[in-house]
């Protein structure tokens, strides 16, 4: 699957926020006075065409994963209808303007405050004047299109959201599928609900209407192939076996998928503007990394599996970092939390633990120190010495570290435990991100320096002295959390909510 994360948003303004609060009958704590000379939107000029378009936009807010109720869409539709019958409504234009300002702000920045940037960023642009100009010049629909994120992924997810909303309308709940035993059904084995499974896979798009299949209660090869397609889209082991995890994913109702897709649209609205250069994007719950060149199509993106922080213990934080340099054959400076929680207990049980794992004690100045075991334990607890692991085959960071300085000390790196990439669930780290193909990523971020071809990168990754290489231009690294996306082939891809972030965002998006 290929996903590009580029080109996003501009700032939110206090006036737009306050106008939307007026609509919701909420107090505006920092209202901005509207100059008397400011041109107001002429919603009812030219046969009320712009007003009609506006109420249609608000009524269709759900196509962006937003709730039309938040903008009073149903009431505005009725009020416009009464206006067209000749009834007076002097507050209509004011209320419609407030609703549109609120909707455009939510569409442009997200309804919920972004974890990536401040909620408000004043730049002097007046949203009311911008809206008035668009309405009075007949450009409302262009203004709405410009407010939405321009990234291709956003539009793909919107298309998938429409498909799943229709599916949820047709099938509010799925009939339960029969269990297939502890080990699950395999191709050729009997399965009582084969016909029901075949219909569900067709509705989900994993089994075509013309795909051949037996009509008797047998889990045939065609069903097994369709299940493999389903498993691929849902982050499951692609073995074609109808086991408990696959049945659980098949039982998730379409309405829940609608919620996941709506949350992804909100999260994409959070992203700040990008410079147009190289970008590395990581979708944490999907355990995937994409690296994309400026102007390149998503099909050309580098893609690889990653390992992220353990759920509920050391989850990977969400932020946008700036990759500044690489370290080939890096030392691993063990964080104090790991030293206290893991190294000290192991060293207490085994005095030779440090030597056996190519580790050493160093002073605050970074100089190696020699201590007996009791002294080492005492000074580690006191924090007067720390642990680091020497470069080599046992080093936890592997052959290369991709540094993006941040207060949380999160970075990307290779690993000596390469077999872990074969696991389906890969939240296994202390928070940093382990990458599957470090040499390929190193070539990508070093591409501006002509001398760094594949051979040069491979040579630098061989055992040897630590080498730091500065990047001529910082590379943004976006850590995103999306449990539903759409790939360039239009396939809906769903991931487990490994950090349990979806319910809280759903409540916030609904305004609960």
Q: pLDDT tens, 337-378? A: 999 999 999 999 999 999 999 999 999 888 999 999 999 999
In whole angstroms, give the CA distance from residue 172 to residue 203.
13
pLDDT at 77 over 60: yes
Burial class (CB in 10 A: 0-12, 13-18, 19+), 264: buried
Listing DSSP states for 144-194 in one string gives HHHHS---HHHHHHHHHHHHHHHHHHH-SSPPPPPP--TT-B-TTEE-TTH
Indicate the helix (H) or strand (E) that contains 96. Answer: helix 92-109
First and final C-alpha spacing in the chain = 34
pLDDT at 115 over 80: yes
Tokens 């794992």 belong to residue: 357
Task: Give the residue-averaged pLDDT of 464-472.
Answer: 94
Contacts of 190 by beta carbon, 8 Å cutoff, 6+ apart: 217, 218, 219
Q: What band does 3 get if pLDDT is binned at 50, 70 and 90?
A: very low
Q: What is the pLDDT of residue 151?
A: 86
Q: What is the pLDDT of residue 456?
A: 93
User: Phi and psi for 136 in degrees, rounded to 5?
Assistant: -70, -20
Q: Which of 117-131, 243-257, 262-276 has the lowest mean pLDDT?
A: 117-131
> Which among 57, 61, 143 has a CA at the least distance from the CA of 510?
61
Indicate the helix (H) or strand (E) that contains 197. Answer: helix 194-204
pLDDT at 100 over 70: yes
Q: What is the pLDDT of residue 295?
A: 62
Q: What is the pLDDT of residue 22?
A: 31
Contacts of 252 by beta carbon, 8 Å cutoff, 6+ apart: 174, 494
Q: What is the pLDDT of residue 125?
A: 60
pLDDT at 12 over 80: no
pLDDT at 63 over 60: yes
**Chain-wide mean pLDDT for the chain?**
87
**Six token digits for residue 277:** 């250069």
Task: Give the residue-averaged pLDDT of 471-500.
Answer: 94
pLDDT in tens, 216-263: 899 999 999 999 999 999 999 999 999 999 999 999 999 999 999 999
In whole angstroms, give the CA distance from residue 49 to residue 28.
30
In whole angstroms, give the CA distance from residue 485 to residue 153.
8
Strand 189-190 relative to strand 288-292: parallel, antiparallel, unpaired? Answer: unpaired
CA distances from 192 to 176, 177, 271, 357 (A): 12, 9, 47, 54
Residue 281 or 119, more confident: 281
Q: State percent of the chain over pLDDT 70.
A: 88
The answer to whether 492 touches 484, Cβ cutoff 8 Å, is yes
pLDDT in tens, 139-168: 999 999 999 998 889 999 999 999 999 999
Listing DSSP states for 327-353 in one string gives EES--EE--HHHIIIIIHHHHHH-TTH
In whole angstroms, give the CA distance from residue 22 to residue 29.
11
Q: What band does 39 get if pLDDT is binned at 50, 70 and 90?
A: low
pLDDT in tens, 175-218: 999 998 888 999 999 999 999 999 999 999 999 877 766 678 99
Listing DSSP states for 311-326 in one string gives TTTSPPPP-EEEEEEE
Q: What is the pTM of this model?
A: 0.86
The answer to whether 402 touches 411, Cβ cutoff 8 Å, is yes
User: Phi and psi for 290 in degrees, rounded to 5?
Assistant: -125, 140
Contacts of 97 by beta carbon, 8 Å cutoff, 6+ apart: 19, 40, 41, 43, 128, 131
pLDDT in tens, 421-446: 999 999 999 999 999 999 999 999 99
pLDDT at 405 over 80: yes
Q: Which of 25-29, 43-47, 202-206 has the lowest mean pLDDT?
A: 25-29
Q: Which of 2-11, 401-410, 463-472 has the lowest mean pLDDT?
A: 2-11
**Six token digits for residue 499:** 């950090």
């Amino acid at each position: 699957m290929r996903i590009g994360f580029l080109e996003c948003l501009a700032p939110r303004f206090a006036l737009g926020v306050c106008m939307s609060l007026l609509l919701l009958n909420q107090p505006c704590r920092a209202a901005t006075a509207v100059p008397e000379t400011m041109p107001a939107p002429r919603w009812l000029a030219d046969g009320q065409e712009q007003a009609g378009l506006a109420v249609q936009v608000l009524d269709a807010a759900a196509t962006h994963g937003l709730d039309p109720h938040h903008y009073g869409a149903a009431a505005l539709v009725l009020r416009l209808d009464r206006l067209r019958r000749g009834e007076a409504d002097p507050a209509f234009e004011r209320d419609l303007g407030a609703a549109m300002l609120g909707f455009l702000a939510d569409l442009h920045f997200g309804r919920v405050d972004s974890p990536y940037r401040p909620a408000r960023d004043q730049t002097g642009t007046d949203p009311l004047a911008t809206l008035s100009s668009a309405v009075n010049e007949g450009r409302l629909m262009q203004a709405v299109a410009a407010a939405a994120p321009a990234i291709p992924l956003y539009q793909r997810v919107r298309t998938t959201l429409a498909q799943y909303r229709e599916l949820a309308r047709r099938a509010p709940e799925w009939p339960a599928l029969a269990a297939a035993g502890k080990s699950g059904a395999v191709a050729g084995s009997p399965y009582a609900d084969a016909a029901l499974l075949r219909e569900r896979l067709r509705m989900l798009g994993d089994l075509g209407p013309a795909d051949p299949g037996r009509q008797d209660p047998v889990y045939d090869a065609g069903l097994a192939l369709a299940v493999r397609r389903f498993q691929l889209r849902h982050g499951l082991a692609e073995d074609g076996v109808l086991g408990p995890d696959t049945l659980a994913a098949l039982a998730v109702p379409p309405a829940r998928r609608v919620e996941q897709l709506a949350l992804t649209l909100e999260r994409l609205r959070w992203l700040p503007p990008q410079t147009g250069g190289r970008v590395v994007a990581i979708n944490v719950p999907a355990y995937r990394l994409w690296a994309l060149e400026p102007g390149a199509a998503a099909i050309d993106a580098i893609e690889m599996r990653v390992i992220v922080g353990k759920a509920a213990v050391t989850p990977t934080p969400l932020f946008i970092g700036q990759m500044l340099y690489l370290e080939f054959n890096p030392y691993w400076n063990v964080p104090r939390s790991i030293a206290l929680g893991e190294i000290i207990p192991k060293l207490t049980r085994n005095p030779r633990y440090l030597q056996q794992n190519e580790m050493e004690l160093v002073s605050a100045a970074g100089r190696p120190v020699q201590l007996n075991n009791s002294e080492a334990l005492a000074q580690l607890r006191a924090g007067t010495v720390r642990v680091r692991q020497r470069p080599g085959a046992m080093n936890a960071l592997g052959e290369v570290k991709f540094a993006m300085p941040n207060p949380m000390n999160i970075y990307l790196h290779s690993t000596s435990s390469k077999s872990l990439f074969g696991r389906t669930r890969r939240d296994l780290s202390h928070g940093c991100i382990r990458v599957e193909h470090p040499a390929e990523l190193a070539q990508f971020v070093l591409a501006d320096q002509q001398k760094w071809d594949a051979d040069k990168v491979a040579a630098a990754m061989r055992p040897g002295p630590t080498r730091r290489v500065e990047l001529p231009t910082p590379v943004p690294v976006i850590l995103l959390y999306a449990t539903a996306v759409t790939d360039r082939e239009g396939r809906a891809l769903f991931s487990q909510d490994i950090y349990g972030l979806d319910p809280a965002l759903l409540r916030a998006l609904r305004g609960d």
